[in-house]
């Protein structure tokens, strides 16, 4: 008798905690979804706004659904209206950004791989200090180098050009790429390299035969990181280029600010999506690597 009483009260207790658990679970999902909608809200607004006509925008609200798939503002954002002066659109600047990103990512990744390789597998006295010396470059506020850089680019004759921006992005990417490769190679057993050296393999042979084949993950992390940083850069782009050589972020900002007559929010939003879509695609396809770069080397905004 007593036993059964005990067990039933125990059951009751268990039942109760089950209900609180279910309640907590719902609460958990509620909060998570609430935040998810906060994060998704601007993207949603951008997309629907870009599909509306200005008339619809004035009549509806931020959230209201567009009447149809109206791609006109996208066409205007990408290719302009077709009249001459004063017609700004993104197409040429999009290609500027591509021309800037590809070489800058390649050079900075290559230099970082080499430096990381030396710092971990060909260690020398004081290499810790060299690493620290390079690492500090990740953190400097770029305002502290803007003025000399502007002057230097002028002296070299590459101010206001894509070439100049490639140089700038390559140089200031090196600390990050070095950090990535150094931290990756440090976990590769040095015995492998030692054995190869005894077999007579040289510096480059060891790199290309032993390290490069296992470097795919870190190359992906580095390339994604550099691509995102350089594509999204505004400070260097706006300081060292204007007019025709500007990268897309600068062009986007100019477009949004330079509305002389009526503000066309649908075109603005389409432009913003166009400027954001390359990095967004990379993020969706390779988010894992993006996050890895972010958490291991994220110091930039």
Q: Which of residues 194-223 bind another protein (CB under 8 A)?
A: 202-203
Query: For residues 156 and 297, what is the distance between their CA atoms, to the nearest angstrom?
Result: 31
User: b/e string for 215-246 if b means 16 or more Cβ within 10 A?
Assistant: beebbbbbbbbbbbbbbbbeebbebbbeeebb
* H helices present in 199-264, as ranges: 203-206, 216-232, 235-240, 248-257
Nearest to 195 by CA among 215, 216, 210: 210
148 binds another protein (CB under 8 A): yes
76 binds another protein (CB under 8 A): no
Could you tell me how many residues of this chain bind another protein (CB under 8 A)?
Answer: 91
257 binds another protein (CB under 8 A): yes
Query: For residues 62 and 265, what is the distance between their CA atoms, to the nearest angstrom?
Result: 11
Q: How far is the CB of 4 from another protein (least distance, A)?
A: 26
Q: How far is the CB of 209 from another protein (least distance, A)?
A: 16
Query: For residues 43 and 66, what is the distance between their CA atoms, to the nearest angstrom?
Result: 15
147 binds another protein (CB under 8 A): yes
The site map against another protein for 158-187 (x = CB under 8 A) is -------------xx-xx--x---------
Closer Cβ to another protein, 162 or 174, answer by number = 174
Query: For residues 212 and 208, what is the distance between their CA atoms, to the nearest angstrom?
Result: 5
Closer Cβ to another protein, 9 or 259, answer by number = 259
The piece of 88-96, 98-106, 107-115, 155-163 that touches another protein (CB under 8 A) is 107-115
Q: How far is the CB of 84 from another protein (least distance, A)?
A: 26
58 binds another protein (CB under 8 A): yes
Name which position in 4, 5, 38, 157 contacts another protein (CB under 8 A): 38
Q: What is the largest CA-CA distance in the chain?
A: 97
39 binds another protein (CB under 8 A): yes
139 binds another protein (CB under 8 A): yes
Name which position in 189, 213, 243, 301 contacts another protein (CB under 8 A): 301
Query: For residues 5 and 123, what is the distance between their CA atoms, to the nearest angstrom?
Result: 73
Query: For residues 232 and 279, what is the distance between their CA atoms, to the nearest angstrom?
Result: 8
How buried is residue 197: exposed, middle or buried, by Cβ count under 10 Å (0-12/13-18/19+)? Answer: middle
The piece of 2-10, 143-151, 155-163, 193-201 that touches another protein (CB under 8 A) is 143-151
Name which position in 40, 195, 212, 214 contacts another protein (CB under 8 A): 40
119 binds another protein (CB under 8 A): yes
109 binds another protein (CB under 8 A): no
Name which position in 6, 9, 13, 62 contacts another protein (CB under 8 A): 62
35 binds another protein (CB under 8 A): yes
Is residue 44 within 8 Å of residue 269, measured between CB atoms? no
Nearest to 229 by CA among 186, 179, 184: 179
The piece of 66-74, 75-83, 85-93, 266-274 that touches another protein (CB under 8 A) is 266-274
Closer Cβ to another protein, 1 or 117, answer by number = 117
C-alpha distance across the termini of the chain, in Å? 68
């Amino acid at each position: 008798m007593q036993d059964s009483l005990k067990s039933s009260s125990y059951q009751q207790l268990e039942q109760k905690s089950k209900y609180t658990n279910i309640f907590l679970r719902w609460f958990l999902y509620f909060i998570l979804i609430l935040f998810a909608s906060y994060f998704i809200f601007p993207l949603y607004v951008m997309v629907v706004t870009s599909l509306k006509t200005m008339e619809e925008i004035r009549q509806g609200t931020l959230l209201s659904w567009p009447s149809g798939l109206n791609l006109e503002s996208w066409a205007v954002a990408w290719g302009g209206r077709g009249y001459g002066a004063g017609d700004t659109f993104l197409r040429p600047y999009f290609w500027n950004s591509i021309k800037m990103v590809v070489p800058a990512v390649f050079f900075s990744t290559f230099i970082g791989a080499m430096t990381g390789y030396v710092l971990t597998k060909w260690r020398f006295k004081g290499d810790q200090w060299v690493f620290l010396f390079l690492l500090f470059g990740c953190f400097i506020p770029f305002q502290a180098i803007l003025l000399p850089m502007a002057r230097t680019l002028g002296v070299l004759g590459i101010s206001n050009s894509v070439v100049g921006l490639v140089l700038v992005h390559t140089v200031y990417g090196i600390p990050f790429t070095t950090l990535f490769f150094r931290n990756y190679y440090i976990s590769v057993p040095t015995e492998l390299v030692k054995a190869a050296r005894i077999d007579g393999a040289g510096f480059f042979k060891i790199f290309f035969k032993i390290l490069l084949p296992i470097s795919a993950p870190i190359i992906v992390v580095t390339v994604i990181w550099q691509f995102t940083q350089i594509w999204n850069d505004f400070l260097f782009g706006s300081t060292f280029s204007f007019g025709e050589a500007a990268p897309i972020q600068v062009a986007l900002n100019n477009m949004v600010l330079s509305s002389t007559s009526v503000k066309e929010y649908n075109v603005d939003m389409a432009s913003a999506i166009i400027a954001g879509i390359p990095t967004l695609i990379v993020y969706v396809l390779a988010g894992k690597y993006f996050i890895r770069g972010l958490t291991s080397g994220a110091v930039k905004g």
